[in-house]
Amino acid sequence: MDGVGTLYLVATPIGNLGDITLRALETLRSVDLVASEDTRKTGRLLKHFEIDRPQLAFHEHNERQVGPRIVGMLRQGKSVAVVTNAGTPGISDPGFTLVRRVLEANAAGAGIGLTMIPGPAALIMAVVLSGLPVHSFTFRGFAPRKRGPRQRFLAVDKDSPHTLVFYESPYRLAAFLEDAREVYGDRPAALANDLTKLYETVERGSLAALAESVAGRALKGEYIVVIAGAGSSLEVEGPEGTVPETGEP
């Protein structure tokens, strides 16, 4: 259909600005509008790369109201890039509901273009650096804030053999680790923070050891918590042996 635009989901750096892709820069320069989770943060990103594009705030508190407006602009032939504060749109960040709106519009014949410009995702980097099995993992996002609902949330995956990945606030990290140890037992785990930044850290150890490590510390920034699945083997044999955690024959 002529006269319709394209929605681009554009991944942006999770810390180091050098991680932005050439396609991301090209797309941000070419679109009619940038829908931003935080226009101030995105404004600094655009300014750094000398990109001058109008922005529209699009976040979890207004996406029900702004989403239809963006779809309307796409119907009129405008191209729109969706960016979050860091990383890939739609992963624990705004983006999913807008994708659904575009798909629903297209089911009715709108013909809107939909694609993404891939790039950084904190959960992928954390899983790879954790030292835990990466062949199969489950991303669970943020756990509930309160202890009871959080423990029930964690218990859903108690018997799962897959590596588990969570996001957590620094203000709730210690409580999360204690609840995870109580629900899962003292499994191997890793904590990733400030990935790609100057003070990037990945701490590895048992849930109990990590809980002890963060207790009483002044924590900053969002954390990624990676926890071994139930019954996971972490043994790695010599050159002629196998690597059990890969899941390969």
Output the pLDDT for position 230: 96
Same structural domain for residues 86 and 164?
Answer: no
Distance, CA of 122 to CA of 177 (rounded, Å): 19
Cβ atoms within 10 Å of 218's Cβ, excluding its own: 5
**Domain ends where: 117, 137, 168?**
117
pLDDT digits (tens, 9 = 90+) for 153-178: 999 999 999 999 999 999 999 999 99
Q: What would the mean pLDDT of 215-229 be, rounded to a whole number?
A: 94
| pTM confidence score | 0.89
Residue 235: per-residue pLDDT: 54
Question: What is the average pLDDT score of the chain?
Answer: 93
pLDDT of residue 233: 63
**Mean pLDDT (whole number) for 217-246:** 73
> At residue 127, does pLDDT exceed 90?
yes
In a domain, residue 102? The reply is yes
Residues 111 and 10 in one domain: yes
Residues 112 and 138 in one domain: no
Could you tell me whether strands 80-83 and 6-10 are parallel, antiparallel, or unpaired per DSSP bridges? parallel
Q: What percent of the chain has pLDDT above 70? A: 92
- Evaluate whether residue 244 is within a structural domain: no
What is the pLDDT confidence band of residue 246, given thresholds at 50, 70 and 90?
Answer: very low
- Residues 106 and 135 placed together within one structural domain of the fold: no
pLDDT 10s digits, 58-101: 999 999 999 999 999 999 999 999 999 999 999 988 899 999 99
Q: What is the DSSP code (8-state) at residue 186? A: S
d(CA 228, CA 159): 11
pLDDT at 249: 40
- Please tell me the distance from the alpha carbon of residue 88 to that of residue 121, in angstroms, as a whole number: 6
Question: What is the reported pLDDT for 99?
Answer: 97
Say whether both 12 and 101 belong to one domain. Answer: yes
Same domain for 142 and 79: no
pLDDT of residue 247 exceeding 90, the answer is: no
Is residue 111 domain-shared with residue 128, that is, in the same domain?
no
Is 191 part of a structural domain of the chain? yes
Q: For residue 61, give its domain range.
A: 6-117
Instruction: Assign 119 a pLDDT band (cuts: 50, 70, 90).
Output: very high
Using the 3D structure, point to which of 117, 132, 162 is the last residue of a domain: 117
Same domain, 134 and 93: no
pLDDT digits (tens, 9 = 90+) for 11-28: 999 999 999 999 999 999
Based on the domain organization, do 90 and 129 belong to the same domain?
Answer: no
- Is 248 inside a domain boundary? no
Q: Does residue 198 share a domain with residue 132? A: yes
* 13 falls within a domain: yes
- Number of domains the chain contains: 2
CA distance readout (Å), 189 to 105, 177, 209, 211, 234? 43, 10, 9, 10, 11
CATH number at residue 196: 3.30.950.10
- Minimal CA–CA distance to 63: which of 100, 117, 111? 100
Specify the pLDDT at position 1. Answer: 42
Same domain, 105 and 127: no
209 and 174 both lie in a single domain? yes
249 lies in some domain:
no
- Residue 246 domain flag: no
Instruction: Report residue 91 as tokens.
Output: 């992963």
- Report the CATH number at residue 98: 3.40.1010.10
233 assigned to some structural domain: no
Q: Span 29-37, mean pLDDT?
A: 98
Does the structure show a pLDDT above 50 at 241?
no
